[in-house]
Chain A
Amino acid sequence: MSITPNFIPAARDLPDNPEGVPGAEGAISAREFRFWYGKTQALHDITLDIAPRSVTALIGPSGCGKSTFLRSINRLNELIVGTRHGGEILLDGENIYRRELDVVALRQRVGMVFQRWNPFPKSIYDNVSYGPRINGVRKRQELDEIVEGSLRRAALWDEVKDRLRSSALTLSGGQQQRLCIARALANDPEVLLLDEPASALDPIATQRIEELVYELKNELTIVIVTHNLQQAARISDRTVFFYLGRLVEAGPTERMFTSPRDAQTEAYLTGRFG
């Protein structure tokens, strides 16, 4: 398994709109989406299309709103008291902020993995089977199949198949992060949100995560927040630059990193910001 870097120093004309796999599940559309923490507006009129089965990297300086936007895609932000939103975010054409929507079901369709891995203090098997169990899967054989399938998709099966009953906390940091990805995959999501998933990992473990993202995009839509610009360049199909709560520029990654159109994007990528 290898990753083809997106570093192509040519200014070819590429379509700005995402293509992905037309008709596949996991298409995200933000329409003039706004978000407030109390009186502070964190996002201003974000309009963005994210194609199904593609990797989109959200980049920008700290506090630019990229993580807020990421957490808005599975409504995780509303767990914080005093927040409110405007506009809408559509998942496969349906507004995820509509009143009657089942938020728990939404979070199964839109899985999330955080910067700091957070496995439950349970066995590897129980971590992965947790979601399906609370969703009513009881048959042992069915659970076994989900656990094995999810661990394989997270490229962890070969490393843990002989110790599924061991505590998840005995795994290395990189393995625990892949276990968290397997746990998200066990719910069979359409979208996977990754919030700096490799920022606390060593280069080898980071490479495994990046390879995994590259493989998983054949099956689901991935949105990743990263401060590592090289990582965004390596693994994403499209890159979106946020600054001061606004979407400044979005485009194909190879164009964004070689010939961005906006002066602010250029300044951020070349370290001439502020």
Chain B
Amino acid sequence: MSPDAPFRHFHDQLADLKRRLLEMSERAEALIDMSVEAFNDQDLEKAEAVIAADHDLDQMEIEIEEQAIELLALQQPMARDLRFIISAIKITSDLERVGDHAVNIAQAATRLIRQRSTPRPTPELEDMARRARQMLSEALDAFLRGDGALGRAVCLKDDQVDALHESLFRIQLTHMLADPRTINDSLDYLAVSRNLERVADLATNIGEDAVFVAEGKTIKHGAERRNS
């Protein structure tokens, strides 16, 4: 065995951790897509599939967390590797939360379907879903590639999703004030919007972790501005 064999072994394990995080992220993004489709198309079967699939994400979180803790304990990583593994533990928890938000959206879809509501066209929701999903995908990409600039760019996009949420809130408020019979449905629309807004927040967290891994700088909670 060559002297650097233990390091090679460690780097193989790190590559495996990256692969599993990518797999988990793809699964989480797919659940968000499915849940929003189930809501928009009032597709009960799809909504139930989302609720059932969440268990897989929970299981992936446990496995990735165990793998990361094992690497910390056995390999005692330093510098960038240390930052990567610490961040991976946080990100797997964020991705599990994304799955929970997908379930919340699917449950809102289920309620609407059972109430036999007439679907309302909500381009804001579709736009939010598209943006939140893209943020999630880019944040993970930034994290896995160690691209700090992309991580920062993702964080900046959060404001756009917040603005859409605000806009959707006002629209639903107008519906509710105009016709109190829409209150039940509107609350579900608002629930979906809030969940998508939180998915964007989680993507922002991942973007911040990508900056931490790439540059060794903490940017969350305005830490970078305070230290500069």
Contact = CB atoms under 8 A, between A and B. Distances in A.
B86 A270 contact: no
Interface residues of A, number: 19
Interface stretch (A91-99, A196-204, A252-260): A252-260
A9 B80 contact: no
B81 interface: yes
| Most chain A beta carbons < 10 A, residue from B4, B78, B212, B227 | B78
Contacts of B78: 229, 233, 257-258, 269-270
Contacts of B77: 270
Interface string A243-273: 0000000000000011110000110011110
B8 to A, nearest CB: 9
A11 B82 contact: no
Contacts of B40: none
Interface in B207-224: 212, 215-218
A13 B227 contact: yes
A35 B80 CA distance: 33
A81 interface: no
B80 A11 contact: no
B79 A9 contact: no
B79 A11 contact: no
Interface in B4-19: 4, 7, 10-11
B76 interface: yes
Contacts of A266: 79-80
Contacts, number: 46
A170 interface: no
Interface residues of B, number: 19
A7 B76 CA distance: 10
B81 A10 contact: no
B11 A258 contact: no
Interface in B169-226: 212, 215-218
Nearest to B216: A259
Contacts of B11: 271-272
Contacts of A233: 78
A260 B216 CA distance: 8
Contacts of A259: 79, 83, 215-217
A251 to B, nearest CB: 12
Contacts of B79: 257-260, 265-266, 269-270
B227 A9 contact: no
Contact of B216 (A258, A271, A272): A258
Contacts of B212: 11
A15 B35 CA distance: 49
A271 B76 contact: no
> Among B4, B7, B80, which residue has the most Cβ atoms of chain A within 10 A?
B80
Nearest to A229: B78
Nearest to B4: A271
A244 B128 CA distance: 54
Nearest to A274: B4
B122 to A, nearest CB: 41
Interface string B39-71: 000000000000000000000000000000000
A226 B17 CA distance: 30
Residue among A9, A233, A260 with max Cβ neighbours from chain B (10 Å): A9
Contact of B218 (A10, A229, A269): A10
A172 interface: no
B15 to A, nearest CB: 13
Nearest to A271: B7
B93 to A, nearest CB: 16
A260 B80 CA distance: 8
Contacts of A257: 78-79, 82
25 contacts: A7-B82, A9-B82, A9-B86, A10-B218, A11-B218, A12-B218, A229-B78, A230-B76, A233-B78, A257-B79, A258-B78, A258-B82, A258-B83, A258-B216, A259-B215, A259-B216, A269-B79, A270-B78, A270-B79, A270-B80, A271-B4, A271-B7, A271-B10, A271-B11, A272-B7
Q: When A and B form their complex, which 10 residue pairs have the shortest distance between CB atoms, in order from nearest? A: A259-B216, A271-B7, A269-B78, A269-B79, A11-B216, A9-B86, A270-B81, A13-B227, A266-B79, A257-B78
Interface of A: 7, 9-13, 229-230, 233, 257-260, 265-266, 269-272
Given A13-B227, A258-B79, A259-B79, 15 more contacts: A7-B82, A9-B82, A10-B218, A11-B217, A11-B218, A229-B78, A257-B82, A258-B78, A258-B216, A259-B215, A260-B79, A266-B79, A270-B81, A271-B4, A272-B11
